[in-house]
Amino acid sequence: GTVPITEIPDLKGRIEIGNDTVSIRDTKISDSGVYTCRIQIGPSAELNQIFDENVTLQGKPYIMNLNNPEMNKQITNTSIVLKCPAGGQPVPEVFWFRDGDVIEQSNRISMTALNGQQSGQLEIINTTKSDFGQYSCSAENYMGKASLKFELVDPSLGNSGMKHNFFLLQPSSVLLYISVVAITSSWTR
C-alpha cells in the first residue's frame, strides 16, 4: 500500500517533481518516512528498478504543550516541578537556568527524564521563599534552540504562581534526488 506522493493531501502544494528529483518545501517532522522511487525502463517496462530512501528530517528544537502551559508546572506547599517537553531531530539536550545561571543538582534539586528526554524535568523539594524567581529551560541541538521561561511567584502572595513565555522554531525544507536515466519514474510514500 504505497501512495503516489502527488496524492498525499498533506504534501499538496509543497512538492515539486522533475528530472527524477522530488523537492518538498516547508517540511514538517511528519514528512519523515520511507520514500520509494520506482523506475521503469523501456516502452513496456521490461526493466524495473525500485529505490527506497528513508528520510529523517532534522530540525530545530521545539517545546510541546504550547497550547496548555499548565501541563508544564506543578507547585505545592513543599515542591516545585517544572517540565520542558522538548522535541527535535536530532534529539535536543535540555539545560535549566535560574535567573540566567545554570542550575546544579543538589540534595533538593534534581533533573530527571521526561518522556525519554534526559533532564526534561526539574524538581525542587522542601521549597522555601528563596526558591521563587525566574527559571528557564533551553532545548538545544546543532540546528538551533528553543526555550521556555517560568516566573515563579510565591503562591501565598495571591498570584497563580506562574507566567510562561514560549519560543518556537520549525524545520524548513528537504530535497530528495536520485541520479538515473529512465523513461518513467514515480515517487510514493
Together in a domain, 45 and 111: no
Together in a domain, 12 and 86: no
For the chain, the C-alpha Rg in angstroms (whole number) is 24
The whole-angstrom separation of Cα 129 and Cα 10 is 50
Together in a domain, 158 and 113: yes
Q: Is 110 left (phi over 0), alpha (psi -120 to 50) or beta?
A: beta
Q: Residue 20: is its pLDDT beyond 80? A: no
Q: Are 112 and 123 a contacting pair, CB within 8 Å?
A: yes
Q: Are 186 and 43 a contacting pair, CB within 8 Å?
A: no
Together in a domain, 72 and 17: no
Together in a domain, 127 and 93: yes
Together in a domain, 155 and 77: yes
Question: Could you tell me which residues are beta bridge partners of residue 111?
Answer: 122
Closest CA to 88 of 60, 127, 67: 60
User: Is-above-0.75 flag for pTM?
Assistant: no
Residue-range definition of the domain harbouring residue 49: 5-57+172-188
**3-state SS, residue 76:** coil
Q: How far is CA 163 from CA 69, 92, 138, 148, in A?
A: 9, 24, 16, 10
Together in a domain, 101 and 138: yes
pLDDT tens per residue across span 136-167: 999 999 999 999 988 887 777 654 444 444 44
Together in a domain, 70 and 41: no
Task: Tell me how many domains the chain contains.
Answer: 2
Together in a domain, 64 and 157: yes
Together in a domain, 53 and 70: no
Question: Could you tell me which residues are beta bridge partners of residue 87?
Answer: 62
pLDDT of the residue at 185:
59
Find the CATH number of the domain harbouring 67: 2.60.40.10
Q: Residue 42: is its pLDDT beyond 60? A: yes
What burial letters (b/e) apply to 85-97, b meaning 16+ CB within 10 Å?
bbbbbeebebbbb
Q: Residue 38: is its pLDDT beyond 50? A: yes
The whole-angstrom separation of Cα 187 and Cα 6 is 8
The whole-angstrom separation of Cα 104 and Cα 132 is 16
Together in a domain, 90 and 143: yes
Together in a domain, 130 and 77: yes
Average pLDDT of 64-70?
69
